Amino acid sequence: MAIEKQVIKSDQAPAAIGPYSQAIRVGQLVFCSGQIPIDPATGELVSWEVNDQVRQVFKNIKAVLAATGLTLNEVVKTTVYLAHMSDFSEMNEIYAQEFGESRPARSTIEAARLPKDALVEIEVMAIAR
């Protein structure tokens, strides 16, 4: 039995910069590729400030989720990649604001290097109702 996969694409989020999809939906599960702080209008990083980058990453995540009719409330798992673990507090503050009381499971990892030398990348998994 073949698995039915639906490719998700949003023009409100940056286009994939490689051979992958912004997100894939399989049944009720939605797997979003890692988002970095690219402004979809310019194709460039928004700034070199971690706060600005985290906010842009969340804008991009919300745009991809919206293309499936979902919001951050349906996110069940995240993985956060930081270029510097010293940016954890700043990322965590914005992360907490974005998710509010709808807190998914999370892993946070310091990565040696992220695409385009971004300071943060976040991937999410969500469940559609």
Question: Could you read off the pLDDT of 63-99 as tens digits, one per residue?
Answer: 999 999 999 999 999 999 999 999 999 999 999 999 9
Task: Say which residue the tokens 């914005």 belong to.
Answer: 94
In a domain, 112, yes or no: yes
- Residues 2-15: pLDDT tens digits? 789 999 999 999 99
In a domain, 1, yes or no: no
The two tokens of residue 18 are: 């490689």
Name the residue range of residue 37's domain. Answer: 6-127
Per-residue pLDDT band for 129 (boundaries 50, 70, 90) equals confident
CATH of the domain at 32: 3.30.1330.40
Predicted TM-score (pTM) of the model is 0.95
In a domain, 103, yes or no: yes
Task: Say which residue the tokens 């842009």 belong to.
Answer: 56
Per-residue pLDDT band for 108 (boundaries 50, 70, 90) equals very high
In a domain, 54, yes or no: yes
In a domain, 83, yes or no: yes
Q: Which of 98, 28, 32 is nearest to 64 (CA)?
A: 32
